[in-house]
Amino acid sequence: MKSQYVVELKAGQTVKEVFVLTKKIVKDKKDGGLYAILELSDRTGSIDGISWDGDSLNDISADDFVFVSGNVTEYSGRLQIVVHSMSAANDSDIDAEDFLPRYAGDIGAVMKSIIECAGAVSNVHLRALLDSFFGDSDFVKLFSLAPAARTVHHAYLGGLAVHTLSVLRLLQSIQPVFDFLNQDLLITGGILHDVGKIYEYSYKKNISISHKGRLLGHIVIGSEMVSKRADRIKGFPEDLKSKTIHMILSHHGEIAWGSPKQPLFPEALVLHYADNIDSKMEMIRQVYAKNRGKNKQWSDYHPFLEREIYLGDEG
Ligand SMILES: [Fe+2]
Ligand SMILES: [Fe+2]
């Protein structure tokens, strides 16, 4: 077990600890030589780092476990480690549990609730589609393990299932308000909207984006997964297949947010809003958790929420 975790680091502290090097950008110094901008991570989060001796880091690559010796300082309002030395960590110093954040609750119960939602879908084709996913033990294993993001929200093992269940609960509460919504399509879209994330991320040492994720992204990967399974179901109506895939394609809502299509029917629009609510609420929950006990009234600027969050007297 580590003795120093990212979340506990404070300015002025000396660091002698193992991290995963999640980013390494080497640049030229004005007076010759190299310096390196770094990001160091463990299961509690990431911290920036800087090494003024970039030449000494040649043998170290992003994704390596590294032993770091340095000092924590504050730069532009953010903590960073000024690295004095960094070397590849010994395998014996690495405890995988220190590097992969995991859902703290019962992931089995989360999966059971999602499968119950799938079981309530009565349209035979959509039900067969969901059964083809959840009857596949390899898929279930990956779906229950995958994170929902690298850093932004639900960035921990099991995060995809937790996020999916939250979206389903939101959809179930919105659906009775608008009686013209097709419940089966809504729930199917909710369950499948992020399935591509099981291949978008790699999560062995740390949560990072896989090659496939970088090249295709979860929207395209998920659309292909659904398309392939729908094609194996005899008589799956072409229009229903297009609508299910459209819900995946459009769930980010805007082309600028990564969706190739804007939502073009009510179930797709509601799914987008439910997805948006859950991801943003999780970001805000993290902001509160991070600032608890810090006696601050406002959070730092949040790059995804594009604002500072009011913490009030709870900060
Ligand atoms: Fe998504
Ligand atoms: Fe999502």
Near ion ligand 1, which residues have CB within 5 Å? Answer: 194
Tokens of 102: 């995991």
Q: Do 113 and 62 belong together in one domain?
A: no
Q: Do 68 and 116 belong together in one domain?
A: no
CA–CA separation, 227 vs 175, rounded Å? 26
CA–CA separation, 126 vs 300, rounded Å? 44
Nearest ligand by distance to the CA of 171: 2
Residue-wise pLDDT for 9-19, tens only, equals: 999 999 999 99
Residue-wise pLDDT for 208-237, tens only, equals: 889 999 999 999 999 999 999 999 999 999
Q: Do 140 and 225 belong together in one domain?
A: yes
Nearest ligand by distance to the CA of 275: 2
Q: What is the mean pLDDT of the chain?
A: 93
H-run or E-run covering 84: strand 78-88
CA–CA separation, 4 vs 16, rounded Å? 8
Closest CA to 133 of 233, 32, 65, 205: 233
CA–CA separation, 27 vs 52, rounded Å? 10
| 298 assigned to some structural domain | no
Tokens of 160: 């995809």
Residue 187 near residue 170, CB atoms below 8 Å: no
C-alpha of residue 118 to centroid of ligand 1, in Å: 19
C-alpha of residue 246 to centroid of ligand 1, in Å: 13
Q: Do 217 and 163 belong together in one domain?
A: yes
CA atoms within 13 A on the CB side of 242: 6
CATH number of the domain residue 172 falls in: 1.10.3210
CA–CA separation, 313 vs 308, rounded Å? 15
Structural domain range at position 188: 107-287
Q: How many domains does one find in the chain?
A: 2
| 190 assigned to some structural domain | yes
> What's the full length of the chain, in residues?
315
Q: Has residue 139 got a pLDDT over 90?
A: yes
Q: Do 87 and 115 belong together in one domain?
A: no
H-run or E-run covering 70: strand 65-75
Q: Do 238 and 134 belong together in one domain?
A: yes
C-alpha of residue 194 to centroid of ligand 1, in Å: 5
Q: How confident is the model at residue 315 (pLDDT cuts 50, 70, 90)?
A: very low
Average pLDDT over every residue of 195-201: 95
Q: Do 39 and 170 belong together in one domain?
A: no
Residue 9 near residue 74, CB atoms below 8 Å: no
Q: Do 132 and 73 belong together in one domain?
A: no
C-alpha of residue 63 to centroid of ligand 1, in Å: 24
Q: Do 149 and 280 belong together in one domain?
A: yes
Near ion ligand 2, which residues have CB within 5 Å? Answer: 194, 275
Q: Is the pTM of this model over 0.85?
A: no
Q: How confident is the model at residue 178 (pLDDT cuts 50, 70, 90)?
A: very high
DSSP bridge pairs for 209 = 201
C-alpha of residue 163 to centroid of ligand 2, in Å: 7
Q: Do 161 and 257 belong together in one domain?
A: yes
Residue 46 vs residues 23, 74, 100, 134: alpha-carbon distances, Å: 10, 14, 12, 34
Q: Has residue 199 got a pLDDT over 60?
A: yes
Nearest ligand by distance to the CA of 220: 1
Q: Has residue 96 got a pLDDT over 80?
A: no
Tokens of 275: 């997805």
Q: Which residues contact 31 (CB under 8 A, 6 or more apart)?
A: none
Residue-wise pLDDT for 44-95, tens only, equals: 889 999 999 988 888 898 888 999 999 999 998 899 999 999 999 987 778 7
Q: What are the backbone dihedrals phi and psi of residue 298, each rounded to the nearest 5 degrees, phi first?
A: -130, 145
CA–CA separation, 224 vs 136, rounded Å? 16
Residue 169 vs residues 110, 155, 187: alpha-carbon distances, Å: 12, 20, 10
